[in-house]
């Protein structure tokens, strides 16, 4: 597969991590990492885990592992040592690739790395023909191990090539999403290499840093990130003129009502959305921003709605060693996402997680509906709604701040007007910021949300 990603003229720019990298340079770096992996004992059919921050070293080590015919496990560099040890014990790779340098600062977009390959005692060769293992984000529960073949990845790259508004030759990508998760990895890094659309990672993941990365080059530019990044940019009061900006594309969680319009009002370009899963990659898109909240399934994707849950045709289970008919059965992947399929157009509207539906006094309450209602209120920037200790609770970030009693009262009045009594949160907690996973997804763990709440004032 890597031959599709490394092809092209040697002097052609392909990556930008602080400085420009052409394809000849990338090929040389991949060859160097391949030699290091070989010396560490990695061979065809072997297994390697990468624990590297976004960097040129990460790209080279990943492609080198695939050149050797190995199965590569991606570990987020922000995981704790304990979490990494658990993953390594669970999956037993033969080689661990990591950087001896200290982790980069939290707001750094990329790091300088010199990957070191270390053989691991007790590591096992690949038990399947998958080339990639990833861990799910963990935003709604324990991480799952998800496996994909080279054919899976090439099929997804083919889907991107069929999307007229997705970056291709002559375009440029500014990537904000994590390269160890599916959007940043396949939709960002691999598609950019395959489509020959140079990819740039900002030096700092701040609004100013992102805008500077867009402004640094005059070629047509697409920004790819998660809704949090779009919120960050939409909050910029007076952004500079960016005639090269074509659109921003986000995925990973639901976009709050009003964000697409707010982003377009700021920058004059669409906020496109995508729906996808680590198990399958991209599933449906609205790159023009005209269909929101609907999305159009990509070519060849077969979807069905079963009892309000979205199922997607997939011939083999993406979960190695896991036999769970609640996740995959009879050639259908059970997404656990509540969705509505339009029988006329075939478009899909994702409504939220199926496990967000709870019973209050015998009445069904969709926490996703409550969350979207709160997020659409004036002055509310973000909202998370959970069911905890037998009741619905909401955690909010607002424009007026956590200590503004009048603003809090206005939100409570609006909630009373817009939600039936049994749907209303028992408690509204105003936070300066909502806790997130390492990939920028909102955490819905009640304990983490409570821990983020300001301590009550002393009497």
User: Is there a single domain that holds both residue 286 and residue 382?
Assistant: no
The pLDDT score that the predictor gives to residue 136 is 72
Asked, for residue 282, whether it belongs to a domain, the answer is: yes
CATH number at residue 96: 3.40.50.980
**What span, in angstroms and rounded, lies between the C-alpha atoms of 115 and 112?**
10
User: Is there a single domain that holds both residue 347 and residue 280?
Assistant: no
User: Is there a single domain that holds both residue 247 and residue 371?
Assistant: no
The residues with which 286 forms a beta bridge, in sequence order, are 273
User: Is there a single domain that holds both residue 231 and residue 216?
Assistant: yes
Query: Cβ of 142: how many Cβ atoms within 10 Å?
Result: 7
Considering 328, 354, 380, which residue would you say is the last residue of a domain? 354
Query: Cβ of 67: how many Cβ atoms within 10 Å?
Result: 18
User: Is there a single domain that holds both residue 252 and residue 320?
Assistant: no
DSSP 290-355: SSTTEEEEPTT--EEEETTEEEEE-SS-SSTT---TTTEETTEEEEEEEEEE-TTT--EEEEEEGG
Confidence of residue 98 (pLDDT cuts 50, 70, 90): very high
User: Is there a single domain that holds both residue 374 and residue 385?
Assistant: yes
**What span, in angstroms and rounded, lies between the C-alpha atoms of 171 and 221?**
6
Q: What are the CA-CA distances from residue 129 to residues 5, 115, 152, 168, 229 (Å)? A: 20, 25, 11, 30, 35
The lowest-confidence range among 39-43, 139-143, 334-338 is: 139-143
**What span, in angstroms and rounded, lies between the C-alpha atoms of 263 and 378?**
16
Asked, for residue 177, whether it belongs to a domain, the answer is: yes
User: Is there a single domain that holds both residue 171 and residue 297?
Assistant: yes
User: Is there a single domain that holds both residue 238 and residue 316?
Assistant: no
Is residue 142 pLDDT above 70, yes or no?
A: no
The pLDDT score that the predictor gives to residue 140 is 42
User: Is there a single domain that holds both residue 182 and residue 71?
Assistant: no
Crossing angle between the packed helical segments 207-215 and 227-234, to the nearest 10 degrees: 90
User: Is there a single domain that holds both residue 244 and residue 291?
Assistant: yes
Please tell me the total count of domains within the chain: 4
Asked, for residue 457, whether it belongs to a domain, the answer is: no
Considering 108, 123, 148, which residue would you say is the last residue of a domain? 148
Render pLDDT for 353-409 as a digit per residue (tens, 0 to 9). 777 777 776 677 888 888 888 988 988 988 999 988 788 999 999 887 766 667 778
How far, rounded to the nearest angstrom, does the alpha carbon of residue 83 sit from its chain's CA centroid?
A: 19
Is residue 217 pLDDT above 80, yes or no?
A: yes
The pLDDT score that the predictor gives to residue 141 is 45
Asked, for residue 458, whether it belongs to a domain, the answer is: no
Render pLDDT for 250-291 as a digit per residue (tens, 0 to 9). 998 889 888 999 999 999 999 999 999 999 999 999 999 999
User: Is there a single domain that holds both residue 10 and residue 72?
Assistant: yes
Query: Cβ of 406: how many Cβ atoms within 10 Å?
Result: 7
Render pLDDT for 420-444 as a digit per residue (tens, 0 to 9). 888 889 989 999 889 987 667 788 8
DSSP 15-68: EESSSEEEHHHHHHHHHHHHHHHHHTT--TT-EEEEE--SSHHHHHHHHHHHHT
The pLDDT score that the predictor gives to residue 390 is 81
Mean pLDDT of 339-355: 89
Render pLDDT for 304-316 as a digit per residue (tens, 0 to 9). 999 889 999 998 9
Asked, for residue 59, whether it belongs to a domain, the answer is: yes
**What span, in angstroms and rounded, lies between the C-alpha atoms of 415 and 374?**
7
User: Is there a single domain that holds both residue 276 and residue 164?
Assistant: yes
| Residues 63-67: contacts with CB under 8 Å, at least 24 apart | 63/2, 63/5, 63/6, 63/26, 63/30, 63/33, 64/30, 64/31, 64/32, 64/33, 64/34, 64/36, 64/37, 65/37, 65/97, 66/1, 66/2, 66/131, 66/150, 67/2, 67/30, 67/34
pTM to 2 decimal places: 0.83
CATH number at residue 372: 3.30.300.30
Domain that holds residue 392: 361-452
CATH number at residue 237: 3.40.50.12780
Considering 321, 339, 354, which residue would you say is the last residue of a domain? 354
């Amino acid at each position: 597969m890597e031959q599709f990603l490394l092809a092209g003229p040697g002097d052609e720019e392909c990556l930008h991590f602080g400085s420009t990298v052409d394809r000849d340079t990338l090929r040389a770096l991949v060859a160097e990492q391949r030699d290091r992996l070989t010396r560490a004992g990695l061979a065809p059919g072997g297994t390697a885990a990468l624990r590297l921050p976004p960097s040129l070293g990460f790209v080279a080590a990943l492609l080198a592992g695939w050149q050797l015919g190995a199965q590569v496990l991606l570990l987020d560099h922000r995981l704790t040592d304990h979490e990494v040890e658990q993953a390594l014990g669970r999956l037993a790779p033969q080689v661990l690739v990591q950087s001896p340098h200290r982790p980069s600062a939290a707001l750094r977009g990329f790091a300088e790395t010199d990957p070191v390959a270390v053989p691991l005692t007790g590591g096992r060769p690949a038990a399947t023909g998958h080339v990639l293992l990833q861990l799910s984000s963990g935003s709604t529960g324990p991480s799952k191990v998800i496996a994909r073949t080279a054919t899976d990845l090439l099929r997804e790259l083919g889907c991107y090539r069929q999307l007229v508004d997705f970056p291709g030759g002559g375009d440029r990508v500014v990537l904000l999403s994590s390269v160890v998760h599916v959007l940043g990895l396949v939709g960002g890094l691999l598609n950019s290499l395959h489509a020959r659309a140079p990819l740039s990672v900002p030096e700092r993941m701040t609004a100013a840093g992102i805008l500077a990365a867009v402004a640094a080059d005059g070629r047509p530019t697409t920004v790819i990130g998660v809704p949090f990044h779009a919120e960050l940019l939409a909050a910029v009061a007076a952004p500079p003129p960016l005639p090269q900006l074509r659109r921003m594309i986000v995925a990973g969680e639901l976009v709050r009502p009003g964000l697409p319009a707010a982003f377009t009002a700021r920058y004059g370009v669409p906020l496109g959305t995508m729906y996808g899963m680590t198990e399958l990659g991209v599933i449906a898109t609205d790159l023009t921003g005209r269909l929101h909240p609907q999305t159009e399934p990509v070519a060849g994707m077969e979807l069905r709605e079963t009892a309000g849950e979205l199922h997607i045709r997939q011939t083999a289970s993406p979960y190695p060693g896991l036999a769970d008919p609640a996740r995959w059965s009879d050639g259908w992947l059970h997404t656990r996402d509540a969705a509505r399929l339009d029988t006329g157009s075939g478009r899909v509207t994702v409504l939220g997680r199926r496990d967000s539906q709870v019973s209050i006094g015998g009445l069904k309450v969709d926490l996703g509906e409550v969350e979207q209602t709160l997020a659409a209120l004036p002055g509310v920037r973000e909202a998370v709604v959970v069911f905890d200790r037998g009741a619905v609770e909401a955690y909010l970030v607002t424009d007026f701040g956590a200590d503004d009693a009048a603003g809090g009262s206005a939100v409570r009045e609006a909630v009373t007007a817009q939600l039936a009594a049994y749907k209303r949160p028992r408690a509204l907690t105003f936070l300066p910021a909502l806790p997130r996973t390492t990939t920028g997804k909102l955490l819905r763990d009640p304990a983490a949300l409570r821990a983020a709440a300001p301590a009550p004032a002393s009497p």
